[in-house]
Amino acid sequence: MAIHRPHWLLFAHLGLIASIAFCSPAQADEPPMISFTSLLKEMTDRSTMARWPSPEFTCKQASSYDRRSKKPGNEDWFANVDWSNFIRTEKNGGRTEHVMLDEAGPGAIVRIWAGGYTDKGTLRFYIDGATEPVLSGTADQMIGGKKYFPEPLSGVRARGRDLYAPIPYAKHMKITYDGPLPKRFGDPGGVGFWYNVNYRTYPAGTNVESFSPAALDNIKTLLPALSEHLTHVPTRRPLREATRGIARPKEEIKPGQSVVVTEDSVAGDANAEAYHSITSITLSLEAKDMEAALRQTIIVIDFDGKRTVSCPVGEFFGTGVGLNPFEDWWRAVDKDGLMTCEWVMPFQKSFRVALENKGVQAVRVSDHIVGQSVSKWDDRSLYFHCGYRRNPSINTAKHSDFNYITVQGRGVYMGDTLAIYNPVAAWWGEGDEKVWVDGESFPSHFGTGSEDYYGYAWGDTNLFSSPFHSQPRAGHRNQGHTTNTRVRCLDRIPFKKSLQFDMEVWNWAKTQADYSVATYWYGDADDTSNASTDDKLLTVPGRPK
């Protein structure tokens, strides 16, 4: 079946994006000045994510991880005192300030998460060597949505505080915290403070406009439309409503059968310099056992003859095991089973989307694919990739690292969906993420806990959806199935040669945990990874064998 060409509703969809000033895509490839406003534009331009960044940047993380963790294989690699660890302590104006980040620019803060008793101390942002902070307040005020940056740029998600508002700096950034700190967790009169700070560094000479109080005035103008765009996704809803009406009739996929959902070739296009993109995929599956159908129906996508996507449908759309409604900036899953993703997926000449039924039951599917012509393919153009990995039996009696993905090649890491099955009523997520970029000797991202990485805290089982991170499913007292998902925009991670993403497995109980993960990245056609959709990895955990 040929690609569904853009219809009048899609043009309305694109027109609405263009009508919102901060959401319009860049008009030229020439690197603009980096500013608070330009970064907000970038945050809401999906097509930008599908290209190698210009200007280039690195993305790293500062955190309160246990500093005893120094080398894999050593006894302390899994050390877990991940709170209240700072770079150093300074005296300033008669107070003691603990330095969380001290980095030369040009750069930008692109995400902050904090947990603990965040009302007890003050965060201060010193920009370009200033002796007085440009921003200051409690963590709740700074990154909990109570003062400078309202929802959806900051807020509380299941007891975690998250900031996604960008804070650029031309020369230097220092962030400090002051407040009571314990010698050990639980000491009277003290509170623990956990933090993760993701930040970009641009090449020397990049034109960056430092954040100033004037930006706060700008946000008052931009926020209503930005909030509506990120949280209610008005451009998606009419498209999805139309999809319900124009998707082709449901088709049955028998066990062992592979069905081509849609494919097309634009070879010989009159506009030879243009490349094309899939901009939306919507699927609806029906089966007697939906948990099994979502795990055992595989979506595979080939671009220009190269397979870059092979993943269970449930993980691909972020729902994990079972149909778990949620909505973020990139994807949506409705309670009636309609699943949508809006990853921009460029290709030069051809694409093919297929579904493979690796289960024992018949599955019925309806679908809708939307495409559009875009621009010239060049050395910054990247393909969309999605891979799947699973370890169904991790012995938690000994701490270990579960490898989400290892990629060889050039790309930009965009996020992941973790579906875990924990057979016991005990907290499973003490483990830290560790991201190694381009063969570095120590991970440039070293976290403080699995739920911290996904933007919540204290193993909270409350469900939540937000633009860039969600918890669509959580087991009672953390027992059973949990789905956590995080997608990246400003905090995406470019890599030129390789990327290795590990998540530490640390469970309070000695048991056998089941970890499954989908990872999303943009990369070159010849990127390779260790992803696998082998049949033995597609069972539904927690069921009798």
Check residue 150 and give its pLDDT: 85
Torsion of CA 174, 88, 115, 220, to 10 degrees: -10
The answer regarding whether domain 34-232 maps to CATH 2.60.40.10 reads no
Check residue 267 and give its pLDDT: 63
Check residue 335 and give its pLDDT: 86
CATH number for the domain running over 1-30+234-381: 2.60.120.1390
Backbone phi and psi for residue 158, each to the nearest 5 degrees, phi listed first: 45, 50
Per-position pLDDT tens, the chain of length 545: 333 333 322 322 333 333 333 444 444 455 679 999 999 999 989 999 999 999 999 999 999 999 999 999 888 999 999 999 999 999 998 899 999 999 999 999 999 999 986 677 899 999 999 999 999 998 889 999 888 888 889 999 999 999 999 999 999 999 999 987 766 655 655 568 999 999 999 999 999 999 998 888 877 788 778 877 787 654 555 555 555 555 567 899 999 999 998 888 876 555 556 678 998 898 999 999 999 999 999 999 999 999 999 999 999 999 999 999 999 999 999 988 889 999 999 999 899 999 999 999 999 998 888 877 667 889 999 999 999 999 999 999 999 999 999 999 999 999 999 999 999 999 999 999 999 999 999 999 999 999 999 999 999 999 999 999 999 999 999 999 999 999 999 999 999 999 999 999 999 999 999 999 999 999 999 999 999 999 999 999 999 86
Q: Tell me, yes or no, if the two domains 1-30+234-381 and 34-232 fold the same way.
A: yes
Check residue 544 and give its pLDDT: 81
DSSP 333-359: E-TTSEEEE---EEESSEEEEEEEE-S
Check residue 434 and give its pLDDT: 98
* CA atoms of 230 and 279, how far apart (whole Å): 17
Question: Domains of the chain: which residue ranges?
Answer: 1-30+234-381, 34-232
Check residue 26 and give its pLDDT: 41
Check residue 217 and give its pLDDT: 80
* CA atoms of 40 and 165, how far apart (whole Å): 8
What is the widest separation between alpha-carbon atoms in the chain? 73
**Please, are residues 517 and 429 in contact by the beta-carbon 8 Å criterion?**
no
Q: Using alpha carbons, select from 41, 27, 61 the residue that is nearest to residue 166.
A: 41
Angle at 443 between CA 438 and CA 444, to 5 degrees: 85
Check residue 180 and give its pLDDT: 72
SS (H, E, C) 264-324: EECCCCCCCCEEEEEEEEEEEEECCCHHHHHHHEEEEEEECCEEEEEEEHHHHCCCCCCCC
**Please, are residues 474 and 461 in contact by the beta-carbon 8 Å criterion?**
yes
Check residue 221 and give its pLDDT: 81
Other CB atoms within 10 A of residue 104 CB: 11
